[in-house]
Every structure is written in structure tokens, then in C-alpha cells.
Structure 1
């Protein structure tokens, strides 16, 4: 034994049973463990083979009687044993190599026989299913399949064994689901091939986990959908931008001339009623254009002191038209009016998007409730120390629709997230962004099959006094402002003529120009510098902002009023240190008069 331990460079071992010094199995096993890779020939003088010798276990070539051996026969035996050993060694090495390759393959590999039992499985397959190889081997492959595949598999395998008819065997990869040990389904790409070994049929399955690939494909599809929706919304915004300028110019003329005409027919009730209808209808068109412009990135927000209840009640008819007949709209407003500082269109956009969202959550109909409430916050102590109460204005939109789970609630404000097949995923994101833009807060509460409630709060404001309360009467203004000079630059002839008539009627000295170039020529010919320049923004050639920028250095005391139906020019980025006001088209005559008076009297 000591010799064997110290030297293992033997080609073959001839061992006499009598020299081992033991008659039990343990002694022979110790030899094998010391030199497991050297072929062994056992020699004995006994006629009967000892029962404790297991030739297969030892890997011995055989047990031979000493008396039967000749030198020739022994040489031949040794030569054959060594050759056979080297052949087996190559086979074992190849097998170890193939097994190592299979075990280290990234794809799972399973070998089953013709009755569906697993004969061999690699490490990747074990990892894929969450089992050890011992838990998988000799079991029917169906236990690794979801229930819906098992019967189909058994029928297909039996049919293939009997008739040779193939459906997916030797075919292209097939996307199926596998069953993990923890009960979860795993999407896999399965490729099957048949193998015949010694007239026995085996089927090899190559399994690739495509969970990440499917997730990536879904992410790509979602990204493409988001891009499409984004481009679609941008296109709507571009369309709105394109039509809003022309439409608002037309509406400005319609509303302006109708307002002027009211003075001439104020004693004619029927004529006055018709004019009021024209003006009101024009205002409704204005609201629709503003809704379209809400999709534009370049829309300029116009901050106003808005009475929330009034906006909701005026918006009620339009909302009802958007709802199906089986959806009721229930509006309950606070007793006291609540004022907030916000762009009117943005507030309407919030309400519109929430109502549409609620209606889509009620496929079988139901009720949408819009409620407002004034919530006391704290007392404000100003210079007078009057301790007036501050408040928030709360708007809630509730439905009795399908509701949402917590996972959905946590995602609803994310851009492009939608539970609806054709949803843009932008409605609630827009609501969230507007609320945050105006220092508001939004919360949502929802229960499955009960309904959803959105609750929005904005900081309330104390309404300032009506601006016209601080304005002198028209007669006084005419006498005191008769020297005020105004330059009007407007490319639309109808609007230019209407504004000119309004201003001259109010007693202002007014000069007009149809574009920036003419405006510069008029300025050059004026003896006195104008007190106020009223300029459209979007004009052919030089726009209104660039026009003002080019002349303002020579007119440090001249105030600027921009009027615009729509402009993608951000004024603050172009003009610095210039005080200006913006009056969006279409505007009412009284709004124009009010802002002109305020600017000239400031």
C-alpha cells in the first residue's frame, strides 16, 4: 500500500489477492481509491472467486488463476488491458467534456424517453425550474408544465411514438410556458429533436428562458406606442397652433364689432339679444380653441382670479355632451364662492380629463360627482392684524366605476401609463402637472368595483377689488388723457380698424401700422413719443416682439401691450427689463379699454 501511495506512474497493476493482506471488501476499495485511474489485474490461487471482490466496482480487468497463466498469455492480457484502458479513458474524457459543455450551457437541456420520463437534465434546466437534478430525474416531464399543456403534450407524444407524426419535434422554436417550483409561469422558447440510441427513442428539449427578452420587447413596444402618442399629441398641438391665430383674429373682429354695434342698438331689445347671442357663441368657440391649445407646448398661460364654482357650472353642458346617455353628472358646489389664481383653460382641462377618465371607468354607466368645498387653513395676520382666514379650494371628482388596485394607483400619474387599450396615458399626467404648476395637491382613493375619487386642493385667494373700481369715468379720462398717444401695430385690417375706432372713441390719439416696418416709419414721423404701443406678436416679416426689441431703447418711458391670437415666441426670452402686458385674442372691448386705462394711469 505504501508503494502505491508513493508511486502512481504504473501502466497496469498485477495484484495477488493473497498479498493484499486482507480478506474483506474494504481492503480492495482502499486500493481503488488510492489509484483509481490505473487498470488492475487480480491474480488468485483459489478456484472460487472470493465473494467480497466486486470487479465492476474496482474497475479490474478480471480475476485470473495463477496456474493458468503463461508468459505469452500474460503479455497478451496486459497489452489488451492497457489498450482497453486507454480507449475507456478517451471515452470517459469525451463524456466528461460533453457533460461539462452541457452543464455549462446557458440554455436548459432535458432528455426524455418515449414514455415522457426524464433521463437526463443539465444544470441550466435545474436552475430554470428551481429543482435539483434528483428531483427531476425519472419523473414525467409533465410536472414541469402548466396544467393547460399537459394533456396536449401526452397526446402529442403518444401520437408521435405510434405514427411518427411530428408537430413541433424537429421544428422551429416554439414559445410556451414552463412551471417553476414556486408555482410561477416562465415563458420559454422550446426546441425539440428526436434521438435514436440502440433502437430506443429519446427526445431532447432545449429550453431558453425568454423572460427578459419578452420584457424588452414589451418595453420597446411600449416605447414605440409612447412615441406614437407623443407625436400624435404634438401634431394636435401643431394643428391647434396653426388654426388658433387665424380663428382668434376672426373672433376678435366678430366680438369687437358686435360689442361696438351694441351701443347703436341698445334701445332695440331684439337686436341687442341677437348681438348677445353672437358674442356668447363666439366665446364658446374661443373656449374650444383654448382646449385645443392646451395640447400645445408653447401656449402662454393667462393667470386670472377664477371663481371655481362659476367655471364648473358654465362647463357643465359641455361635459354632459361628452358623456354617454347612461352616465349621469351630479354637481354640488360650495355655498360660498372660492377664488384661485390660475389659467381658466388649465382648470377646465383638469376637470375635463378627470371626468373623461371617470366615464371610461364606467362601461355600464353610473354617476360622476363633481363637488367643491372651501377648507379653512389658518389665519393670516397682515399689517392691519385683521386675522382673516386663509382657505383652500377643494375640487373632487368621484365615480362608481370599476376602481383600481394599489399597483395601478401608484402608476396612474406616470406619462403614457394607461389601463385602456387605446389610451394615451397623458390625461392624468397632464392633470398632475397642472395641479403642481399652480401649487396645488392631488390625491386619489379607489376600491375595486366600488369606484374612484380624485381630490384636488388649490390655495384660495381673497378676490381683489374689481379693476374698474380704480378707473376714472370715461368722461374724465377723455379730458385728462386727451394727450395720450398710442401706436397700434396690427397686420389684420379688420382688427386694426376695430381697435382704432374703440381707442379714438375713448379719446386717445391713435396712429396705426400694418406691420413692423410701417410701425418704424410711423414712429420716425411722430413729433412726440407714444405713451403706449399696442402690437400684435405674430405678423408677416418681423414679429411684434422683435419690433419692440428694435425700438425700445429710444422709448424708455413707453409702455407695451402685446395682443396675440397665438404665439410660439416666449417674450421673456427675447425682451429683458421691459414692462409689458399681454391681452390674448379674442378679447372683449371692455377688457381692451380696461387694460389700456390701467397702463396709461399707472
Structure 2
């Protein structure tokens, strides 16, 4: 029987390789070899052979083989048609044969369901377009990404998907772009960003192994991008430190000399009625010195000298420092009640500097807002496990995703007179304290900064 099974496996393998063009030959050969074997025994050998073959190939190939194997078996059994006519218990043999075939079919369905279940629960969204361009399969995650029931997507082609009313406008635009990049230009990989700032890596698989189908997989790589951006940010700040160490003193020394000589010349300029010139030059020199000071702090803040401080007293002091400026800009600063026992271990000077920079940015955003409502800055703090989250929220102009992604980059600023170093300083200070800072913002609705610092 083992030799017979080997012949059967060889015939099946030849059938799978040759396709329909060579299908009659292996079935005919086996038909003559198996003359003494009962039909139900042939089906049993078929089932065992298929299990051996399926175990040695890829899942997709196994499913294709199972489908082809039924045709092979029907052709083979056709050679036994005369045999059934001479069997006494013809009905019983047919019933047994039907049961074995049903069992084999269930085995195939079990394999198909298993692999479909794997596809359904992958950490990537999957959509399969058939050779005619219509969607034949969508997994659960892809339906979740698109925000529509996946069953409603089946049978749609790309134009139909792009015009589907259930999708958001941004997703429809992305689909049109992907059609151009991946289907027309045949690019395999593409990275897209949705309206919420999430990063997706889209991969298209073409080729003969899919029989003309196109498999699109979509993976959310937002967290990986955050890690990459954090590493990139640290690299930029490290490079900034090297530049600062090389040029800072070389610039400050001549500026100090120029400022001293300008003060000596000031009385003579007063006599000539040009005192304004002296004032402007000294102010600009002081401004240059301030920029260099911020530059040095943003690249390499001093090692924090930590001590225990009460969060409520720290935030009350920050609020007090900005109250007068807030009144002038038509803004209210609200400090939510904070647990008096809540403490953090920080360098008070550096922590205050970071918070002042953030509140100053909120005031500037409210000052540049065209909304009729009164400006509002809310400051609060809550305990989260072993950390404290401090939140500064405003109802200013808000920011788009592009601005948010560059917010902590040195020298990036949206202000006419800004240096672009204030938030870079905040980022480095908070990182040096073992904390984390993030920003959530939308155009027209305002901005919220979240600073997480460890408890003592």
C-alpha cells in the first residue's frame, strides 16, 4: 500500500504541475493501476496523499492544490464507472464513497478556514483584488482602517472604492493617489499619512504566484515613526551641541567688545543727536547674546540638580509670572485644583524654564487668534501610576500636523521674531529629567501640551 501511495502522490504532483492540459494522463495511468482497489479505498489514499502534499508547501499553494485535487479525483473515479455497474451492494458503496468525499471536503474547508482566520487577525490590513480588478477579500483590520463594514467593500473595483460614500474624503484621495503610484506605476511600497497624522506603510504584491490577483497590505507604523523621529531629534540636538561648542564663545567675545565700545561712544552720539543709533545697536547686541544663550541651552542644558518640589506650588508660580501679560492680551489663566501632596523630583530652575516656554507659546497662539471668544489657558496636573502628567491647554489658533511634527526642531518657528529654540530647550530639559512631552492640536480649536515627569 505504501508503494501505491507513492505512485498516487507522484501522479497528483504531476497533475498540479501540468495543470489542466496534462490532467488526463496521470488519472488514466492510475485508473489502470488501481483496478483491484475499491473506490472508497481510493478516496482514502487520496485524502492521505493530499495531507502529505499540503504539509510540505506554502499555505496559499496548499489551498490551490486542494481545489485542483477534487477535479483529479473525479477524473480518476470516472475510470471506475463500469465497476459500479457490477457491484452487488452498489448503493452502499456509493454511500460510503459519498461520506469519504464529504469528509475530504470538510478537511479542505478546515484548512481554508484556518488560513482565512490567520489573515483576518493579522496586524496588517489586507485587501485582495482579483485578476479583473474587483475586491474579493478584505480582513477585519482593513475594514477598521477604512471605517466601513468590510462586507460592503466586496465586489468593488478601485473606481468604485474611491467613490464609495462610506469613506471619508481624505481616504478617497489617498486611494486615488495609491491607484496612480501602485497600480499604474507598479510601485511595491508606499507610505501615506492620514488626516489624523497616522503613518501607514502600504505594500502591493503582484506576480504569477497570485494568478493575476493583487494583494494590498496596510500596516500602521505610527509608533515606529515616533521612535524614528525621537532618534532623529536626538541626533539633531547632538549635532547642535557640537556646533554650539565650536562657535558660541567665538561670537560672544567680539560682541562683548563691540557693546563696550558702543557704550563709550554713546555720549558723542548724544551730542550729534544720534542717540537712537546707539540704543538700537546695543539692543541688537543684547538680542544676539540672548539667542546665543538659548542656543547653548537648547544644545546642552546643564545636568539637572534635582530636588523634591510640590507640583501645585511650581504651577502657581508659573501662573503668577504670566498673569499680567495674560490680562494685556485678553486672556485668562486657570489653574485646576491639584493634590497638595503631589511632588516630583526636578531641577526647579530648568523645570520652570520649560513650563514658562510652553505657557509663553500658548499666550502667543491666543494673541494671534482671530476668534471673538476670550482667550483661555488651562493648567492642570494628575497622577498617573508612577508619574505626573502636567497639561497646558489653550484655545488659540492651533496647528496642523506638519507644524506639530517639526515643533521641537531647533530653529523651526512660525513667529516673525522667534528663534525656534524655546521648545527645543523644553524637549531636552524634559528628556534629561526622564520625562516625555507630546502635543495635540487642531487648526482653530487650540493646542494641548502634555508633560510627563517621574514621581519622587
Range class of TM-score, shorter chain: 0.3 to 0.5
Higher percent of residues as strand: 1
Higher percent of residues as helix: 2
Q: Considering only CA atoms, is the larger Rg found in Structure 1 or Structure 2?
A: 1
- Scaled by the length of structure 1, what TM-score is found? 0.30
